[in-house]
Every structure is written in structure tokens, then in C-alpha cells.
Structure 1
Amino acid sequence: MEHRFQVDLRGIVDLLSHHLYASPRVFARELVQNATDAITARREVEPDWSGGAVTIEPSPDGVLRVHDDGIGLTESQVHTFLASVGRTSKRDDLGFARQDFLGQFGIGLLSCFMVADAVEVVTRSAHGGPAVRWTGYADGRYTTEIDDTARDDIGTSVTLRPRADAGPWLAPAQVRELVTGYAHLLDVPVLFAPPAAEPVRLTEPQAPWEIVYDDPQRRREALLDYGTTVLGARPMDVLDLRVPEAGLVGVGFVLPSAATVGQGSHRVYLKRMLLSDDARKLLPDWAFFVRCVVDTTVLRPTASREALYEDDLLSAVRQGLGGQIRDWLLELSVSHPERLATFLRVHHLGVKALAVRDDEMLRLVDSWLPFETSRGMMPLRTFRQHLSMIRYVETVDEFRSLAAIASAAGTPIVNAGYAYDAEILQRLPRLDPAIRTRRLDPGELAARLETLSPGQLALAANLLAAARSVLAELDCVPQLRQFDPVTVPALYVLGRAAQEQDSIRRGQEGSDELWSDVLSAFADVDVDHRPELVFNWRHPLIRRLAGHPPGAALRHAVEALYGQALLAGHHPLRAVDSAALNRSFLALLDQAFTDPTAGPGTPAEETP
């Protein structure tokens, strides 16, 4: 007898192929899911039944047959499950808990029309009754007939006849690859039986994390081997994951190389059937250094069954898994510090991201993660010994220009120019209220440098006079100190107050009259906060310049030292700064290559 589907089948197939499923490949998953659910249902009805297997029979002409010995369907159930989409559920019609099943018969079977023009189902129910043959067509028709000779034993056979453009999807090699990818963790045997060949089991009796070993180290090595096949590279480490309320169990693999935040994807199985190998949002964002392979019985899939549905349970799972990764890191710090050190060298960014919000991870970072300091690379706990205040700078350039001088001045500093470093330093008092941290003001550092004696200042009078004249045009003031390292002739110091004043001045220069007046209200006109050029008396060049008579040469030398200090400190150059640097550079070159015995401007003769 011929019937019509209770939906617009062409519209449904278009919806499935263009809007619900990412690829026609899901037909293989739906076929195996339906067969596995039928076996699950029969085991519930017949507890002593010892059968249960799915057989995949491809053929060279593209016709695909899938057989199972599950519960089967009666004629009324054929109409209910195979011709009505979304109206019923297995719980209602078969009487079992919904979580026992992987999919839904109706919409799962309809997905096969993405690769087939006709789908034939021959089924005999364990509840009795004759065998039923159902044939559905892509044009929206289906037929049913009682055919008691079509199948003798209980179960179901599904036959797909390919569409003209879908032949490659039903090729034997392609079918085997698809079924293996989706179903290899199912505890139901799935056999691949091509013509004239022995059937091959595609499913594993146990998931890799379920296999029991006498030696924990052997189990760890076996899981690392499994992780190598998953990641394409041997993981750095492996940890067990379990969230009972979500029926979730599996493993997490620590990536062997640095990863990018937000690019983590995981392999998720739902009741041992692959849901997605690119699942997102399973772990907190900070745990991007871990890739998971897990199986869950409770988490909800999306309508396409290719991703996890975002709900409160998934949020709780994310929090629970994040806590287990956090505990693993803390355990490493206690039991395997050498493995922790290796991990931190590669994945310090993720750990720092967690330390910004978690006090226990902050304690781990404080104790184990090396920071760049003016005393070398060391953990913060080591750095702050015998220090009443931890001072830090917030840019890498500032650290490079100040590190050596800060150390010589007895003010060691931390480079907080990398991601999360400043936040971590600011949170350290949460570990111990006695810990004090403060961003270093370069002006404070300059004030701590050793001053000169009155006699030394007298010797440098000409240099200071020339420097005041030259630097006044550059909105800078000179200072004369002595400090290490002696290889630094001059240091450009831009204190915090000077930075603020400089920002206001630059804003005024680029604004109209109204905004210039507004900005001038923020300027502190009573105090001179200009940047400082600090000359190092210990440098031989500075002492020679101090004895040089006033004149153009001394002025150009000051301009050159000013420009060199700006460049060494990675400070931006204004137009006036570039002009002074170019002017001094050309003047000093001209002086170096002028013959002192000839008239002014006469080039020096080449030496033979």
C-alpha cells in the first residue's frame, strides 16, 4: 500500500543537508545509532539474550545494507517511527528511559535521503507479528507491505540505493572509514562485511581509558600512545577526567607545544558514539593547553548531534573539568616538580591566566614560574626574599632600559611587560598581606642614583651649562650622577608625572583653542615635571666632555647623547628629537673628517 510522509520530505532533506548537518557523512552515524538502539531495546526486553551485533554490507555498485538483530518494529511502529518526524519518542512507544538510546529513528533515517534515492527497511519485531517491508522514496512516497518471507529472524535490515551524485559516499572504503570514525568505541560489535571477504570488527571492546593495567606507568604510557594517534604528536602528559553528574569519563592530553587561546577543540562521544571531534567550550578558556577525549551519557547534543548544547549542565562540567586540571597542576608541584617545570616552559600563558582568578594557582605561579627580573630569571617567591617592596615595570622596553641601572641602584625590578604579569603581581598580597608591590616610577629610580661630590660638580660645570641650554629646547633637564654599568653614558628618564605632563602638552599642541584651554586645566604649572637626561660620571666619555671647552662641539655631543639615550630606552622620537639627532650626527661626522690644519670646511686628505 502506498502512503505519503506526514511531512514535506523534499523540504526536510533540504533542511537536513543545508542547515542542520555539516555533511552527508552523518548518514553512517544515524544508521549505526538506530541499529545500536534496537539492540539496547531488545536487551531490556530479554535480559538473558546473548546476541547483539550490527553488520555493514557494502557493495561495488554502491548499494549499502545494514543489518541488526535488535528489537525490530511492528507494522504500526513502522508508520510511527519511519513516517512521522518529531511526534513520538522511543520512551513512549518502546517503554524505556530516553537516556538508554543514542538517536531518534525517524529523523535519523530521513538523513539517509541525503545520499539515497530510496531507503528500504525490512524488520521483524521481538513482540511478534510478521515481517514488514517499508520503502521510502526521495519524492515523498513510501510503501509498506507484509512480507513474512523477507526476514526470518528478529531484527532489521536497511538498504540504501545511492543517488546519482552520492556514489562516493557509499563506496566500501568510504563507508568503512565513516563507520569506524563514528562507532569504534561502541560496546556493540559492528562488523564490516564486504563481498567475498571475512567480516572485520570495527569497534573496540573497551575505551583506552577503561583498560586495566597492573602497572600505573604502563597505563600512562599506553594512554600517551593513544594520545599520539589523536593529536598527531606525543602529548606532554595525560590526566584522567571524570564528572559523575554528567556521566562523563575520559582523558585529557597536555599538548607538547604552545597553543593559542580559544583554539581548543575536543573529541566527545555520546554513549560511546562519536558526537564531534571538534567540540568547543568543554573546558574553561584558560585550559587551552589540554585536549580532551571523553564519553558522556547525560550531556545534551544539539539538533544536528554534532556539538554540545550550551546549558547549565555543560557549564557545571566545564567548571568541574577545570578544577581537575587545576588539581593536576598542584599535584605536579608537590610530586613531580621536574614535570611541572617542563610544562611551565611551554604553557606558562595558560597557568598565568588561571592565576589571575585562582589563589591556589597564584601560589603555584609565585613558587614555580620564572619571571624576568633585573637579577635574572627566577620565581617571584625567590625574588622577593629580603625585599620590603616588589617594584615592577609594565613594558618590556622600559625593563630593558632600566634593568641594569635599577640593579646597580639597589632597586631590583620585575619585568611585567608580558600577558597577565602585572595582574599577578598586583594579586600577590592575597597570598600574604605583608607582600607589597608597586609599579616603578623611573623618576624615583633616578633619585636613588649616587650623587657627585662638590669637586666633581665643579669639574662638570661647562658640561652642565651646555646641557641646560641644549636640552631646554627639547623640554628636558640634565642631571649628573654616577652609576653602573659604566657602559651607559646617559639615561633618559621619563617619570610618571613627566609622562602625564607630556601627554597633556602633546594634546594641547594637536587641539583647537577650546580643547587646549580645557587640557591646560589639568597641567601642574607649579612643578616642573620634565624628563631628565642623566649623565653617568663613571663613563670616560662624560668625564672627557666635562673638561671640554664650551662651543658647538660640546653642544652637538649633548644632542648626540640625548638621541642615543632615547633610542636605547625605546622611547618615541618627536620631530624635534629627530632633528637634533640628525644635526648632531652630521656635525660630528663633519668634524671627524675635517683636516685640522686646513681652512674651515676643507675636507681631510686621505691617508696613503
Structure 2
Amino acid sequence: MASETSANSASPENSDRSEQSDFPAGRSPHTFQVDLRGLVDLLSHHLYSSPRVYLRELLQNAVDAITARRAEQHDPPARIRLYADGGRLRIEDSGIGLTEADVHGLLATIGRSSKRDGEAGIASARADFLGRFGIGLLACFVVAAEIRVVSRSARTPGASPVEWCARDDGSYTVRTLPNDARPEPGTTVHLTARPGSGEWLAEERVLALARDFGSLLPYDVRVGEVPVTDLPAPWDRPYPGPAARRVALARHCHELFGFTPLDAIGLDLPLAGVRGVAYVLPSAVSPAQRAGHRVHLKGMLLTDRADELLPDWAFFVRCVVDTDSLRPTASRESLYADETLAAVREALGERIRQWLTGLAAGDPERLGEFLAVHHLGVKSLARHDGAMLRTMLPWLPFETTDGRLSLEEFARRHPVVHFTRTVEEFRQVAPIASAQGIGVVNGGYTYDAELVERLPGARPGAVVAELDADTVTAHLDSVDPEQELALGAFLAAARARLDPLGCDVALRAFHPLTVPALHLDDRSARHERARTEAEGQADELWAGILGSLRGSAPRARLVLNHLNPLVRRIGSLGSAELAGTATEALYGQALLMAQRPLRPADSALLNRAFLGLLEWAAPPVPPGHSPSDPQEDGR
């Protein structure tokens, strides 16, 4: 018996459904026409990320067929064999097999799935299936010009083998075969490569793909005689002790991800249907870098780029897990974002929290090694987790005026924990604040300012305050009023020179003596300066609006150090012009010492001050004198 049919034709079932539909009088139903070549192009360029998925679809169908047979029979054979030579591929399974009716109803109808609820046959084992979308063998056309399926049903005793042969032009044939064509129940699929796709059917490539997709499958899978499956999974195997387990998992991580981990975190979560391991990266990574986690669904690799599996703060680990609770998307290359995934993400995040808490309680040396690399990730977690912040306070490092310390240690040393919000602010005040005994934390790094502000909640009694220019100035020693009065002319000239830059001048005495001047400002001062600059460049309307926003924020200030010999010499200059130029030079030097970004006006000032000082140091040569004349110039 043989028949030839077009894939565009309606199946008997579809026809029955159309006849039962309620169509308006005078109208007859029509069936959709499918361009198979166009559909294959859609699959290869838009649904699937690579032609490699064809092998996953073949393995998936074979595993589902065996699962269906095991649901109906006691202890049937469970084996899958693949053979490839570059031009052809053959995959054999000992699964449930198909009858001729199954072939017409399932293989020849695009979008039809054998796994639908209420379907006869293998639908009884639907919950254990890997595939759910009925695309099946269609994906093989991405690499194959022809697909030939020979199958014998295990459900119908005495049923003859049936052959389904399809080409990528949309045509197929179905015929029954002699019993010796397939003596045992099961299915054999033959692929003939498309032009240019032979590499995907090469034995070496097939073995690599099969191991990547199917290493955790529960059945015996081989390419030729080479085993593919490697069970139990490394995280489920028994080991002589914790040290042996760590060594084995480190080796597995290196083989899988290419790095040796700092540690391995078990992810055995029975209630969430997840088993696996998280490997801690040995080097720091950016929080914005999305980790590619490997997710197996019932043993079959679903994706190696599941960046949504863990909370964002856990960017310091790479996971490999096997799950039976998460749902795949239609392409079966990523996870479906639903409530189940959210619950699993939270459960895995809690497991990593427990690991960190355990290190803090019982293995501070390993915790120190971890924080030396990944303190940023833990700080990200501690921002929203009060318990984690309290646990990590003695361990998390911060840059301070006392060196690199934990907040716990720093708070014990200083009654008030001052902090800056930017690295530039910290660099301005760190040397001066340290000399004056002011404790300051650099809050300019990611998450640090937020954590310092949360310190009182984690450590009752701690006092936290943002450092501003007034606080620093108040801790500096005042200059004797008579001495400051004697320098009144110099200070007036200095203030007049820096006023256009929105900067005041103050005279104080402070250590270290080597610092001639200190530039101080805060966020409010910078905002007011930016507003003033924008007002000067705006048209009349916007200038009026910006002018109405003028606040009472303090201006930036240049604090001159009266203890510094250079400042004293500048203050005694008789020339107001030279004193003003020297003040500009001190202002520019203070900005550079603070490593602040320079505005165009600041750069122009630096150039002007530099050239001005050169002119004072090398005056014009009087007429009649050569540049090498040793005669004094009268100054």
C-alpha cells in the first residue's frame, strides 16, 4: 500500500472539524495553504538561533517516544543510537513507534502535536515529555533536504512498519513495509543533507552536539559506540568527602565553562524541581555583564544563555541546573517568564544567600577570598537585605581615610561616620580630613553611599552624616585675626580673581603643611554653578526661568593654608596683579590634586596663570641687552 499526498492538503481530521464548524449560509470552508520552504526559512532565521537545534529535536522526539513506551509497558528497552557520515544521519530509538494513522495525523500535519491533552497514544505520558509544541521533525529541514522515517508501533501487536518520506518542497509519501524492514518496535529517522549543510551531519559534529544537548538524558544514548550520556550528574554523584567533591566539581566547571571556580554552591531544591550547582567566578565581572547559565529540562539542554535564572545581584556565579518545573518558550531555547520562573529565581537566590551566611559564620578565610574579588555583588545584595548587611558588616571593604576597612571597624573608630557621594569629593578632602581626625568613607563607588546611609539600621547607635564643605572648614584651625587682617589686601585680590568662577577664598591653618590650598565644594554648590552657567548661555525666557531657580546654596571655596610657606610668600607680594595670578595657579593646582574634571573656564584659567607666571619669571629683555646678558633687569 502506498499513497502520495501534498503537505498543503487538509488531513481527514481537519476536514471533519471544518464540516462541523458553523459557517454562514452560502460560504464553504477552506484550509490554509503552507509554503514549507518559506516556513523552513522562518524557522532557521527567526525561531532558532542556529541549525544545531535540529539534533536536539531528533533527540527530543526519541526520548519522548521511549518515555511514552515506558508509560505503557514494564521495563522496555531504552536506547538511542546515532550514525553520521557527513552526508547522511540516522537515529534509531526503541520508543513507542507510529502506526500509519499516526504518520498521516502527526508527521504530515504541520503544527499537529502527539502531546496534546486528550490525544490517544503517547499523550498519556505528556507530563514527562520534553517537547510540547508539535514542530518536531520540521526543524530538521533546516539542515536536511529529505527526511525518511521508518517506524513500527509497540502499541499495536503485529502492525507492519510504516515509512514516511518527505522533501523540503512540501511533498511526502507514506507506505507500509515488510516486517523485516523494522523487526522491533521503535523509530528510525534518516536525514539527507541539504547542499552546504553536510558539516552539521559529520560524525564529529554530531557527537559534540549530542553530548552538549544530551549528557544528562536518562536513557542510553550513543553516537556509534561512543557514549553520550554521563550520569549521574556531577552534583549528584557520591564522593569520599567535601574536598573530593570540590575537586570534582572544579574539574567539571573547567570542562564546561573554561574556568576554575573559587567555590561551588549546591542548588538542590526539590520543592522547586531544580538540581544543579552554581560556580563562583574566579575574577571580578561587571554587574551589567549578564551571565550565561545552562539549563537542562528533564535532562535535555534547553539553553546555555539563561541570564534570567538568578537575581541580578548574583552576577558572580555561573549555574548549570536540571529542572522539571520550568517552561520553555516556543523555540525551546530560553525560559518562559512566568510565576514559576520568578519563584525558582527567588529560591536560588536564597540558596546563594545561605552560602554567604555560612561562610561568614564558619569559614572567614574563604569569605575573605571571595570578597576580595566579588564584594560588589554582595554589596548589591546587602542594599535590599538588612539581614545580609548585618552579616557582612564585619567583612565588606570600603575605602576610608583610615585605609581599607569594614564599616563595622570604621564605626568603632569614629563617633560620626562622614561620607562623600563622589570619588572626586573624597580625593579633595581625604588628606586634610585624615590629618584633622575626621573619619570619611568614600561613597563614590557603586552601592557604597547607599550602604553607609543604611548603617544606623544595621548598627544601632551609629551616626552617619554626608560630608560638606562647611564641616571640613569647621575642623580647620582659624588664623589669628591680626595675621588675617594683615593679609586683607591679598585676600581681597584673590577673591576678586576667583569670583567669576563661583568660588570664594578662605584662609585657614591645617596639616599637612605640604598642601598649599584645598578646593572644597559639594553637590549643592555644583548645582548652583551649573545653573549659573546655563543661565548665562540661555535666551531671555530661559534665563528668567533659571534665575527664578536661584538658591541659597553655598559656593565652592578655595581654602588657603596659612601654614604653607608658599602661601605666606604669595600673601606678602606687593603686586595685586601677581597675587591674583598666583591665586589662579593655586586654584588650578587644587583642582588637579582633587582629580576633578576641568570645565572650559578652569582650563582657560590654568593656561592664563601658567603664562602669567612665566612672564613674571622671565620679563622682556630691555633694549640694548642680549638674552644672555647677565645684567640684572632691575627687579
TM-score over 0.5 (shorter chain): yes
1:494/1:81 CA distance change after superposition, 3 Å: same
Q: TM-score, normalised by structure 1?
A: 0.91
2:298 and 2:560 map into 1 onto residues whose CA distance is 73
2:98 and 2:606 map into 1 onto residues whose CA distance is 90
Q: CA deviation at 1:602?
A: 7.8
2:624 and 2:590 map into 1 onto residues whose CA distance is 31
User: Contact 2:65 / 2:95 at 8 angstroms: preserved in 1?
Assistant: yes
Query: Residues 361-391 of structure 1, C-alpha deviation per residue, up to 9 Å, x if partnerless?
Result: 3224432111111111101111111533321
1:465/1:246 CA distance change after superposition, 3 Å: closer
Residue type at the aligned position of 1:483? F
Give me the CA root mean square deviation.
2.7
2:260 aligns with one of 223, 226, 234: 234
User: Contact 1:489 / 1:539 at 8 angstroms: preserved in 2?
Assistant: yes
2:517 and 2:226 map into 1 onto residues whose CA distance is 78
2:37 and 2:548 map into 1 onto residues whose CA distance is 72
1:371 and 1:426 map into 2 onto residues whose CA distance is 13
1:205 aligns with one of 218, 231, 242: 231
Q: Counterpart of 2:51 in 1: which secondary structure?
A: coil
1:123 aligns with one of 142, 151, 156: 151
Correspondence for 1:109: 137
1:600 and 1:263 map into 2 onto residues whose CA distance is 74
Query: Matches of residues 164-563 of structure 1 in structure 2 within 5 Å?
Result: 164-193=195-224, 199-260=225-286, 261-457=288-484, 460-472=487-499, 474-495=501-522, 498-523=525-550, 529-563=554-588
Residue type at the aligned position of 2:6? R
Q: CA deviation at 1:222?
A: 0.2
1:161 and 1:469 map into 2 onto residues whose CA distance is 87
Q: CA deviation at 1:439?
A: 1.6
User: Contact 1:594 / 1:601 at 8 angstroms: preserved in 2?
Assistant: no
| Unaligned ranges ≥5, structure 2 | 12-32
Correspondence for 1:72: 97
Residue type at the aligned position of 1:179? A
1:26 and 1:578 map into 2 onto residues whose CA distance is 59
User: Contact 2:516 / 2:566 at 8 angstroms: preserved in 1?
Assistant: yes
User: Contact 2:479 / 2:508 at 8 angstroms: preserved in 1?
Assistant: yes
Residue type at the aligned position of 1:278? R
Question: Is 1:590 aligned to residue 615 of structure 2?
Answer: yes
Q: CA deviation at 1:115?
A: 2.4
1:491/1:135 CA distance change after superposition, 3 Å: same
Q: TM-score, normalised by structure 2?
A: 0.87
Q: CA deviation at 1:67?
A: 1.5
1:102 and 1:500 map into 2 onto residues whose CA distance is 59
Correspondence for 1:137: 166
2:501 and 2:78 map into 1 onto residues whose CA distance is 88
User: Contact 1:493 / 1:532 at 8 angstroms: preserved in 2?
Assistant: yes
User: Contact 1:246 / 1:299 at 8 angstroms: preserved in 2?
Assistant: no
1:471 and 1:540 map into 2 onto residues whose CA distance is 22
Q: CA deviation at 1:473?
A: 5.5
1:575/1:269 CA distance change after superposition, 3 Å: closer
Q: Counterpart of 1:96 in 2: which secondary structure?
A: helix
Query: Residues 77-109 of structure 1, C-alpha deviation per residue, up to 9 Å, x if partnerless?
Result: 233332234444346322523121222695212
1:395 and 1:324 map into 2 onto residues whose CA distance is 34
Residue type at the aligned position of 1:584? A
Residue type at the aligned position of 1:211? R
Query: Residues 465-497 of structure 1, C-alpha deviation per residue, up to 9 Å, x if partnerless?
Result: 543454456544332211111111111223555
Query: Residues 199-241 of structure 1, C-alpha deviation per residue, up to 9 Å, x if partnerless?
Result: 2222113111111112121011100110011121111111011
Q: CA deviation at 1:322?
A: 1.1
Residue type at the aligned position of 2:584? E
2:124 aligns with one of 96, 103, 108: 96
Correspondence for 2:188: 157
1:80/1:298 CA distance change after superposition, 3 Å: farther
1:210/1:519 CA distance change after superposition, 3 Å: same
Q: Counterpart of 1:344 in 2: which secondary structure?
A: helix
1:469 and 1:12 map into 2 onto residues whose CA distance is 77
User: Contact 1:55 / 1:191 at 8 angstroms: preserved in 2?
Assistant: yes
1:163 and 1:474 map into 2 onto residues whose CA distance is 73
User: Contact 1:495 / 1:531 at 8 angstroms: preserved in 2?
Assistant: yes
Correspondence for 1:58: 84
User: Contact 1:493 / 1:533 at 8 angstroms: preserved in 2?
Assistant: yes
Residue type at the aligned position of 2:218? D
Q: CA deviation at 1:16?
A: 2.5
Q: CA deviation at 1:71?
A: 2.4
Query: Residues 514-541 of structure 1, C-alpha deviation per residue, up to 9 Å, x if partnerless?
Result: 33333333435xx794432221121111
1:606/1:325 CA distance change after superposition, 3 Å: farther
2:495 and 2:49 map into 1 onto residues whose CA distance is 72
Correspondence for 1:196: none
Correspondence for 2:30: none
